[in-house]
Structure 1
């Protein structure tokens, strides 16, 4: 029997706070419409008597375009330049060898970065500023700003970890501290929207909101917070345009950059039967809020299926097991079995070995077209291996992901849907899962885009398949490099997988406002994420993709996997002669939110690495809100056909412990028209439908699939709920 390895990388602070050079992190966020610019300021101080090299690994949003890196001290400001990665590392090492101070910013993964502050002299005090831009996507009329705070404790399979470069492992597993660290996070955010801001809230932190006439200002209520969870801001504007179109000169090469938004209006179509495989993460990292959220989401998803659908469920950790051996028809028997199976799940299956269950899902019933819904915190260390498999898989399904927890890792959760024409969502503890599930189900009902044609005021471009997932009233945006200044409107023609064509038009092209000044850099990042867009037969296609990506990133001065920011201080400091001590900055051990964490360790512990087994859950003041017990009961008791037949539901919904299902059938004049059992089902179902539409303290749209299923069943029995509205209303009043 293979022995489990329980370990985590918890950084010892050694001789204390003096060896932790990082003394504070400040986030400066500016949001104008859907454009977001963020500057992260890291304050380093060397309080030791020897020169040091401070190395800090940290996360940023996966879609962040890092376009600025500067260093400020009491005497000067140094602005770094982007170079090819190896060249940048050589420049950094040479500067240290020459007794100069030097600064390096490197991308380890699409959302993990490392800042190296080299030859920091005793007493030296510097602020490192990292600037990135991003475009925010509207979801249900709201924007979401997410700032990751600490690299999550990921699980790397032992065979993968043993093959990794030790330096890469150091960055993947930064030292962690259980005691309070001498640095925290402060926040200053400014938000302005065309038409105004309706509301701003945070499910992650208590915030102070100052609603001005044109600008909303946000800060933490406590001034500074511990960096133990992601910051999340939800912004609800008065209106979302979805049809903006801008252009600007390209400052890095001849030509123009165009930007256009489109708001899809999709025709309603009859729902088609689906094959869906649900994959739920039951690893130790899901302990607490995450596993309960995953189970709640899965139960609601099961209730949202219809007769004619086929499904299966796979639970995974270090190993995996499935509910059925293959796709199973959806009926009352399979639904009851699935509900009992899901309710018995717990976060007790060890590490996050996601590749095996994915292979099983793709290779079982290989001839069937499938959708996969993955519920996970995404905390894995072998992302590349997983993505490579999905990218090469024949007849690959569309993958839809739901990231759960306070530190859900973006790379896995966002990359798999991008490869397959699915979409990703994130649900922070305490946030409602129903809107997330509703959006995913709506996306599954719409075909994926297979090809696109854009016309920028007379300049046409044909694009390869972008694996775009459409949802009504959720904006799409595109960026292009154009030979000449565009005019008029931008038109889009999309070919869909079902053979239909969608035509859309943007608003009038306008000169790019200051809020979107980072558009050229955003375009360059877009090019790096879509390398297949190089014109067919061009000379560029004959060069390696790495050379092309490096050239683009250096030209537009953005960070990438092939480029790094570097700058050295030209002041020669003779006092820095001698050895430089390495000081890796420890991060907060966010695993305090889990009762158990299982990782793989490929090398023996050192002084800064210690083994651990369990930690107590952190009972946080922002713990998840309890679900509405009535809604939870309704989710669990709707039949596969769509009706409800439990008399106890009447007591819950009507608040009347004495009323019986026969009384309801009599008062709704159903008795005599139907057999007693059918009359009972109709009566209870009508009351529940009325409750969901008019009395539930949530939008009925969040349970739309359950409502639709119930109404379809009622329609089969020639029942129109609106005809019974007055009589049902009396039941609630009496």
Structure 2
């Protein structure tokens, strides 16, 4: 059957998934998510329902059970092939069975098979996972319940078959979602924000450390549900010790205590104020068809690619003189602006900006592996540390191959990754940054891309932290086994997590200490955290499961690196750990068989794929013979696959360009050295006539000094809300001004304030 945009419900074929209920429990920065999926077979034939859905890329799935009528069956974790065989055997002998497994290509996609649901029968499936919440640029903790599973572009020749996803327009998603969250923290909760309508936050106690919040009624599960949780004084280092499971074997991971340490290194101000003036900055921009879609459905005119162009403008203006740079873009193939990285100058900056202005989302599919291989094959430039910035809407089928490549080259660069729009693969975006020693950001909903990217540029300009070591000081009867991979990157104010297994007995009052030592710009530094070894109450086995998941992911990566070598022991180790901890892995699956139903189910099973929402962003791939009707949304016309297959559609006339953002207009006029020229274009950007600007200039002032001071006053006077975006280029302008040793700076600042109607102090401009 042809997957024509997945509009299966129009064929009047009933979809057996009726509703999804999600309960979220957030404790500090760890989330436990319980999803209940309710199925009902309204057909007159027995059904097998298959639902392919996304989860956060670093989630640890730790419980799976099914309830049919009054019978409750809890699934077990088994080696994947064994679980599949058991599932098939159960179906062929007429029993009901349920199988939950992780995709071989990407750890953030799962498929759930509900087998042998008799006519008229209902089944309720409960799925539980735990995950850490990532820290955002503004210190908010981000939780995302992914709804949108964009079709994953499967590059030619990559391993394994792609996941088959059926998608329908959001208005036709035939199931509803109810979602509630309970948040508790040692620190007060200041606010919770979301991209979806929420009922008001309800505090449960007077010190505001516990609260509940839920989605407003009537939410269609047609987009990712994103929550941003803000605590007061969020950046406190903490350690949580969790007692082992009484029934587990002492000495095993589940039998011993496990500690989760969160560190927030604070670097000396003297080092932080000296931004690097060197580096090779390589920007890799996705130009596949789906980058032509709106960033958000509410702001139709701003597409992902237009936002990316504006972001590249800010990045290019903010680079330090003396560095090197290049810009690559990719789709089914890839292009570069310069054959190799060039020195940053007025001429190379202008040449790059001309090319950036012409960038469109017209390069087809998402083949990110080849351009990465090309970039890594370029020799590094001595004394110019390589910083790679990757922008993508993150829809690739070979996630693990890409992450492995970044890890292999982690010694030669830092990788900063940006997931644009809903449905970007969290496994890909987080995995690239983690293995590349950089930082990941997600740009969704009403977010502007620019402040997040500029924060990452600040990180990239921080001197790299080297020689990182972690030491433990514990009572002599306690030994420690670290479960996390070694820390490879530290950034000012960003959290680093360490999981460790603690073996042995100690007194209730015993204390431990963990010390992180590192070297920053030639200065040795350390951060210490003292913590009590007595276990926290009431944490369930959350910390154990997250620790197990961390260790499983590291082992899986080792297994892929050493594939083909004789050591087959890693896979066995992963399977053993996964079964013991009850946490899913790429080598295991959850299997549940209802052995109680004595009546065998008669007749062949009918298979039904349950559709996921098709966001505005990406139409599913048509079958080769399926041409999309011209009435489809323009965005759907430019899906990666249709371009990739050479199916070219008549594009509607381009919409009128929206007026240029005044901030970006002013920024576009800045020179590479940091100064502005006194010309009519600058006067227009400042909202003045050329004559007014010329006439107000103090007599002895140099025109470029005057122009640059005016631009800085305008930024400080009118655009303080966007300071994150222009701060670096303003610092560059201020250092250019200081280098001029120009007379009458004070007069220029005074005259500029009068002309622009501002009252900005000279000190605020950094002069």
TM-score range normalised by the length of the shorter chain? 0.7 to 0.9
- Do the aligned partners of 1:454 and 1:461 also contact (CA within 8 Å) in 2? no
In 2: Cα distance, 1:599 partner to 1:618 partner: 13
Deviation, 1:114, is 0.7
Q: Residues 473-492 of structure 1: CA distance to partner in whole angstroms, max 9, x if unpaired?
A: 12212110111367435322
Report the CA distance shift for 1:40/1:448 in structure 2 as closer, same or farther (over 3 A).
Answer: farther
- Please give the secondary structure, in 2, of the residue aligned with 1:209: coil
Aligned to 2:165: 174
Aligned to 2:139: 141
- Do the aligned partners of 1:313 and 1:323 also contact (CA within 8 Å) in 2? yes
Stretches of structure 1 that go unaligned for 5 or more consecutive residues are: 1-6, 535-540, 620-625
- Please give the secondary structure, in 2, of the residue aligned with 1:345: coil
Aligned to 1:265: 266
Superposition map of 1:117-136 within 5 A: 117-136=114-133
Aligned to 2:157: 159
- Do the aligned partners of 2:665 and 2:685 also contact (CA within 8 Å) in 1? no
Report the CA distance shift for 1:297/1:96 in structure 2 as closer, same or farther (over 3 A).
Answer: same
In 2: Cα distance, 1:34 partner to 1:565 partner: 27
Aligned to 1:90: 85
Deviation, 1:360, is 1.9
Tell me which of 500, 518, 521 is aligned to 1:480: 500
Residue 551 (structure 2) pairs with residue 559 (structure 1): no
Tell me which of 93, 97, 120 is aligned to 1:102: 97
TM (normalized to structure 2)?
Answer: 0.83
In 2: Cα distance, 1:97 partner to 1:57 partner: 22
Residue 110 (structure 2) pairs with residue 113 (structure 1): yes
Residue 333 (structure 2) pairs with residue 319 (structure 1): yes
In 2: Cα distance, 1:384 partner to 1:210 partner: 39
Aligned to 1:623: none
Q: CA RMSD in A?
A: 3.2
Q: Residues 546-601 of structure 1: CA distance to partner in whole angstroms, max 9, x if unpaired?
A: 111111111110111111111122222425123222222122333x435xx69697
- Please give the secondary structure, in 1, of the residue aligned with 2:229: strand
In 2: Cα distance, 1:700 partner to 1:553 partner: 47
- Do the aligned partners of 1:649 and 1:684 also contact (CA within 8 Å) in 2? no
Report the CA distance shift for 1:146/1:416 in structure 2 as closer, same or farther (over 3 A).
Answer: same
Superposition map of 1:416-431 within 5 A: 416-431=432-447
Deviation, 1:11, is 3.0
Tell me which of 452, 466, 474 is aligned to 1:457: 474
Report the CA distance shift for 1:506/1:617 in structure 2 as closer, same or farther (over 3 A).
Answer: farther
Deviation, 1:313, is 0.7
Deviation, 1:28, is 1.6
Superposition map of 1:23-422 within 5 A: 23-108=18-103, 109-139=106-136, 140-160=138-158, 164=160, 168-169=161-162, 172-178=163-169, 180-203=172-195, 205-212=196-203, 213=205, 214=208, 215-227=210-222, 229-251=223-245, 252-254=248-250, 255-267=256-268, 268-269=270-271, 270=274, 271-288=276-293, 289-366=303-380, 369-393=385-409, 396-422=412-438
Q: Residues 215-263 of structure 1: CA distance to partner in whole angstroms, max 9, x if unpaired?
A: 4433333522143x32212222222043111112222442220111211
Q: Residues 692-724 of structure 1: CA distance to partner in whole angstroms, max 9, x if unpaired?
A: 334315152442211211111111023697896
- Do the aligned partners of 2:415 and 2:439 also contact (CA within 8 Å) in 1? yes
Report the CA distance shift for 1:723/1:185 in structure 2 as closer, same or farther (over 3 A).
Answer: farther
- Please give the secondary structure, in 1, of the residue aligned with 2:664: helix
Q: Residues 125-166 of structure 1: CA distance to partner in whole angstroms, max 9, x if unpaired?
A: 122111111121323321111111132112222333xx63xx
TM (normalized to structure 1)?
Answer: 0.86
Q: Residues 487-526 of structure 1: CA distance to partner in whole angstroms, max 9, x if unpaired?
A: 4353223345866543111253363243574010011011
Superposition map of 1:432-581 within 5 A: 432-444=448-460, 445-458=462-475, 466=486, 468-484=488-504, 487-496=510-519, 501-509=524-532, 511-515=535-539, 517-531=541-555, 544-574=569-599, 576-581=601-606
- Do the aligned partners of 1:650 and 1:659 also contact (CA within 8 Å) in 2? no
In 1: Cα distance, 2:77 partner to 2:549 partner: 14
- Do the aligned partners of 1:259 and 1:478 also contact (CA within 8 Å) in 2? yes
Deviation, 1:95, is 2.4
In 1: Cα distance, 2:376 partner to 2:732 partner: 29
In 1: Cα distance, 2:453 partner to 2:176 partner: 34
Deviation, 1:106, is 0.7
- Do the aligned partners of 1:156 and 1:600 also contact (CA within 8 Å) in 2? no
- Do the aligned partners of 2:484 and 2:551 also contact (CA within 8 Å) in 1? no
- Please give the secondary structure, in 2, of the residue aligned with 1:10: coil
In 2: Cα distance, 1:469 partner to 1:722 partner: 42
Stretches of structure 2 that go unaligned for 5 or more consecutive residues are: 251-255, 294-302, 559-565, 637-657, 759-767
Corresponding residue pairs, total? 690
- Do the aligned partners of 2:484 and 2:499 also contact (CA within 8 Å) in 1? no
Bigger mean CA offset, 404-413 vs 627-636: 627-636
Report the CA distance shift for 1:712/1:699 in structure 2 as closer, same or farther (over 3 A).
Answer: same
Tell me which of 744, 756, 759 is aligned to 1:732: 756
